[in-house]
């Protein structure tokens, strides 16, 4: 009898690399927001409708310099990742969008813009989701099947995603493997915050070596547990963060560590979701 505990090819761990593309879609008075995006690395928060041109250029770095570095590292290790993109970010960076698609990566939706949708009413949120889908399909030629919010969601979010035809949501941190949502036909493919490179911004004293050590420890524990039950690891990174010269080698070394172990399936979120839905149909 087929053992449904394991991933394709008998892999004991599914590894999902998630690259967040938010640059150019962040809060800014140029797009009608009441205040600009906070500067995480400096702890600067402005509460006035003043454009922070310095921080806008900080985000632009992710598109101009960080993105090519991240794509190069993924290509060097022959890894296809899931790029969770705020739709407007890709609209404003068409060359990056083409490079992501040409690299064989998945593009999942990370909102229409990188803003908090929990403040939206149901009709507004429905429109927010629809605009994200339409934009990403125009930019990449492919309709997204997965969704990641900017952390906060509404009670209607999953229902609206299901109505729009999404296969999976990442807005969950409760497990180390996929599971079906109880109230909608959505598959939940959990994300992880503890291993996210955002900590390198919010806690600048954290070194890339410390972040790498934590990521490798996470991998090793889940890989060990995967001998008895399916385990999945999420590693989330950002163009403007891990794409810096002093940090990019940490991603490179992590992927080398993952490749050093047998029976590891490095896959996109869409691949993980479709495999799980086939092998573990919704009850």
Contact 34, 96 (CB under 8 A): no
Q: Is residue 1 part of a domain?
A: no
Could you please report the per-residue DSSP string of 33-99?
A: -SSPPPBTTTTB---SS---HHHHHHHHHIIIIIHHHHHHHHHHTT---EEEE-HHHHHT-HHHHHH
**Domain presence at residue 67:** yes
What pLDDT shows up at residue 2?
A: 41
In CATH, what number is assigned to the domain containing residue 14? Answer: 3.20.20.370
Which residue range(s) make up the domain with 243?
8-279
Position 225 confidence tier, pLDDT thresholds 50, 70, 90: very high
53 lies in some domain: yes
| pLDDT over threshold 90, residue 231 | yes
User: Is position 256 within any domain?
Assistant: yes
Whether residue 3 is contained in a domain is answered as no
- Asked, for residue 2, whether it belongs to a domain, the answer is no
Q: Provide φ and ψ at 186, rounded to 5°.
A: -75, 140
Expressed in percent and rounded to 5, the helix, strand and coil fractions of the chain are 45, 15, 45
> Tell me, what's the pLDDT at 5?
55
Number of domains in the chain: 1
- Residue 234 is inside which H or E element, if any? strand 231-238
């Amino acid at each position: 009898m087929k053992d449904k505990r394991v991933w394709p090819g008998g892999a004991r761990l599914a590894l999902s690399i998630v690259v967040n593309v938010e640059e150019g879609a962040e809060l800014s008075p140029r797009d009608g927001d009441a205040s600009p995006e906070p500067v995480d690395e400096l702890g600067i928060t402005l509460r006035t409708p003043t454009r922070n041109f310095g921080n806008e250029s900080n985000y632009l770095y992710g598109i101009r310099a960080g993105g090519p570095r991240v794509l190069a590292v993924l290509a060097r290790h022959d890894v296809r990742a899931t790029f969770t993109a705020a739709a407007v970010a890709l609209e404003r960076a068409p060359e990056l969008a083409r490079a992501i698609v040409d690299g064989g990566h998945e593009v999942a939706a990370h909102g229409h813009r990188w803003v908090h949708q929990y403040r939206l009413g149901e009709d507004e949120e429905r429109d927010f989701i629809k605009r994200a889908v339409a934009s990403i399909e125009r930019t990449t030629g492919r309709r997204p099947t997965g969704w990641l919010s900017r952390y906060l969601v509404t009670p209607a979010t999953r229902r609206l995603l299901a109505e729009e035809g999404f296969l999976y949501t990442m807005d969950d941190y409760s497990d180390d493997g996929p599971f079906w949502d109880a109230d909608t036909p959505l598959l939940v493919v959990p994300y992880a915050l503890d291993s996210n490179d955002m900590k390198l911004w919010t806690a600048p004293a954290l070194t890339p070596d410390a972040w790498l050590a934590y990521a490798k420890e996470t991998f090793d524990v889940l890989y060990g547990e995967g001998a008895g039950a399916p385990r999945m690891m999420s590693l989330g990174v950002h163009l403007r963060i891990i794409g810096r010269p002093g940090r990019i080698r940490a991603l490179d070394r992590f992927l080398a560590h993952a490749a050093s172990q047998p029976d590891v399936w490095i896959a996109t979120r869409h691949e993980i979701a479709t495999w799980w839905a086939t092998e573990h149909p919704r009850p």
